[in-house]
């Protein structure tokens, strides 16, 4: 697989994004402890898959991805807030994330809750403050409303609720998909949509890109479940088999490992079909899709 | 004091608001437990002072307050989310609010955190969805960004952080004012600003109304502290003297009870001066100001 194009693109925009996230928080006139807590989790790294999807989508339309920097920062803030709150003792009770102590282990539960609240709130301010030359007020308003939908009860929060309700219960494939489509899928999908909205995409392109992102999100989650069975602990950053230990319903458990691999391939194929339908220059998005299918962490 | 006008106005719009809040959550396509938890806290009552300020400000401009219904609902959602998160065991650890069990006592900590997250997120969707005939996209965008500022680290969240950091410490009057201006003042001020923005107020009117709301917010907080010393437990819904028991810094403690009463009167006078400067029909806002000064709960 040729990934040179994506590698260079990813490195450049990851750095731009990370600098932007830090400076957006640093400039806030607020108690230093809350800014430290926000920056701690924003800097915890990760693949930055959501911003990358946004940048690559803008590139597919021939637009300068830099024009999407604030939108990408807003989305990454929402993703980061969701990790901080999910890790809390009353939620998943995780002490480590990517090998680093979780936010509440460093700053305490109260500041962790408030840092999550602050990132979620700030994301809407950041999205609304995109310069007018990069997005008209109508466009920014659409981005704001769609981001709220993707992150709220009809999206990510709804998925997290269903996930918690479904813990230690045998889920059907339909219930498992509801969780994934909402908990991770809706914000991944919004990352692609935001790029398309910023590019002034036509309705049919929005539909195809939306379908692409939907299937990519499912592929991402199936691969996550597969890695929990066959992955390298050191690379994935958590013990292999932890889903089984935690009695979590997974694709390999519902479909067998081979069945899960078939399902992954099907989602990857569907993702690519919808990408091709757009008629855009989707080289980078294709590479991201291949990366999702073959990633080892 | 003549409060007949405000009483009727308040009754009418409180009912409209409460119906709107309930139906906005009911129509969400989401797991029922999260909707129940959101509605539980939205229905917990209270004075609805923020929506009332918004409606009364619109009325001062001769505008139909109904056009501010979604903006008022958005603000009340943010206020409600902040109460849910503040009551959590890792924050203020309160079991009761207005005589009812707090959200996490009924639904558990995890759902309470998520219900707060959901209300905060939904508020931006609701604000962005004001019909175009009531507010142009530019206006809605301005409301969204200003609401995020009032609720975030430079506003309410920053005030809550400073409040927690200042617990069990002797605060200066300046530190105490920082907490109040941010923790409660910024969202109260935004409620007035939102009404003015919806009414297309001139810059100088926005400035005067902003100063009015700033002083009203301080008056509100000073009266809160005074009630903790001289109030009726049954009416205020918490034990008299609880601030002293919790070693909280307060106005009576820093200024003496008489000094706090003088400070209250000064803030009320300043509020009214700025109101008069606007040249608007501020009868209702004047009554709200008198109510803040003389309230017994």
For B58-94, how does the pLDDT look when each residue is reduced to its tens digit (9 = 90+)? 999 999 999 999 999 999 999 999 999 999 999 999 9
Mean pLDDT over each residue of chain A, to the nearest integer: 94
B140 vs B128: CA distance, rounded Å: 6
B141:A145 CB<8 A: no
A169 inside 8 A of chain B by CB: no
Cα separation, B236 vs B290, whole angstroms: 18
What is the share, in percent, of chain A residues with pLDDT greater than 90?
A: 86
Q: Give the three-state DSSP class for A205.
A: helix
Note the pTM of the prediction, 2 decimals: 0.96
Q: Which residues pair with A100 in a beta bridge?
A: A97
Q: Return the structure tokens found at B47.
A: 């004075």
pLDDT of the residue at B242: 72
Partnered with residue B100 across adjacent β-strands are: B97
Model pLDDT, residue A259: 95
Instruction: Round to whole Å and give the CA distance between A44 and B241.
Output: 44
End-to-end CA distance of chain B: 17
Flag whether residue B167 sits within 8 Å of chain A, measured between CB atoms: no
Q: Evaluate if residue A180 carries a pLDDT over 90.
A: yes
Please report where in the chains the tokens 């207005």 appear, as a residue.
B98
Question: Judging by beta carbons within 10 Å of its beta carbon (0-12, 13-18, 19+), is residue A220 exposed, middle or buried?
Answer: buried
A30 touches chain B (CB under 8 A): yes
CB-nearest to A33 from B124, B138, B161 is B161
- CB contact under 8 Å between A128 and B120, yes or no, is no
Query: Are A85 and B160 in contact (CB < 8 Å)?
Result: no
Tokens of A252: 């390999």
B164 touches chain A (CB under 8 A): yes
Tokens 């929506």 found at = B51
Indicate yes or no: CB of B160 within 8 angstroms of CB of A114.
Answer: yes
- Chain A residue closest to B141 (CA)? A141
Q: What is the CATH number of the domain that holds B53?
A: 1.10.600.10
- Rounded mean pLDDT, A84-96: 95
State the pairing for strand pair B96-97/B100-101. Answer: antiparallel
d(CA A142, CA A115): 26
pLDDT at A53: 98
Q: How many domains does chain B have?
A: 1
Is A157 in contact with B129 (Cβ distance < 8 A)? Answer: no
* Through-space distance between the first and last CA atoms of chain A, rounded to whole angstroms: 17
Taking an 8 Å cut-off on Cβ atoms, the answer to whether B152 and A122 are in contact is yes
pLDDT at A1 over 50: no
Per-residue pLDDT, B277: 96
Q: From the list B34, B90, B124, which residue is nearest A158 (CB)?
A: B34
Surface of A (33-52) touching B: CB under 8 A: 33-35, 38
Residue carrying the six token digits 């201006």:
B181
Contact assignment for B153 to A129 by CB distance below 8 Å = no
pLDDT at B1: 44
How large is the average pLDDT for residues A230-244?
70
Cβ(B150)–Cβ(B189) below 8 Å: yes
A85 vs B: CB within 8 A: yes
Contact B122 A88 (CB under 8 A): no
> Are residues A225 and A252 in contact, defined by beta-carbon separation less than 8 angstroms?
yes
Structural domain harbouring A284? 4-294
**Residue A53 and residue A213: Cα distance in Å, rounded?**
9
Half-sphere exposure in the Cβ direction for B180 (13 Å, CA): 24
Least confident stretch, A165-179, A222-236, B216-230: A222-236
Find the closest chain A residue to B85 by CA distance.
Answer: A113
């Amino acid at each position: 697989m040729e990934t040179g194009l994506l590698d260079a693109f990813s490195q450049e925009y990851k750095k731009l994004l990370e600098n932007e996230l830090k400076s957006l928080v640093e400039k806030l006139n607020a108690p230093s402890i809350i800014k430290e807590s926000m920056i701690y989790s924003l800097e915890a790294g990760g693949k930055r898959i959501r911003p990358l999807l946004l940048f690559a989508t803008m590139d597919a339309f021939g637009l300068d991805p830099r024009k999407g920097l604030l939108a990408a920062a807003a989305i990454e803030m929402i993703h980061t807030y969701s990790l901080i709150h999910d890790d809390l003792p009353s939620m998943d009770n995780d002490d480590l994330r990517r090998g680093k102590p979780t936010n509440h282990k460093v700053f305490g539960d109260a500041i962790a809750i408030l840092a999550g609240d602050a990132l979620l709130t700030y994301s809407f301010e950041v999205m609304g403050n995109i310069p007018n030359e990069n997005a008209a007020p109508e466009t920014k308003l659409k981005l704001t409303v769609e981001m709220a939908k993707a992150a709220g009860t009809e999206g990510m929060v709804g998925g997290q609720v269903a996930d918690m309700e479904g813990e230690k219960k045998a889920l059907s494939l339909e219930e498992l998909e509801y969780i994934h489509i909402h908990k991770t899928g809706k914000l991944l999908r919004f990352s692609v949509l935001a790029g398309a909205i910023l590019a002034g995409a036509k309705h049919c392109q929005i539909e195809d890109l939306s379908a692409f992102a939907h299937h990519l999100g499912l592929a991402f989650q199936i691969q996550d479940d597969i890695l929990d069975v066959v992955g390298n602990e050191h690379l994935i950053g958590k013990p292999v088999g932890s889903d089984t230990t935690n009695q979590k319903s997974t694709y390999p458990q519902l479909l067998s490992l081979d069945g899960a691999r078939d399902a992954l391939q099907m989602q990857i194929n569907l993702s690519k079909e919808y990408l091709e339908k757009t008629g855009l220059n989707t080289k980078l998005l294709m590479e991201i899709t291949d990366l999702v299918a073959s990633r080892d962490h």
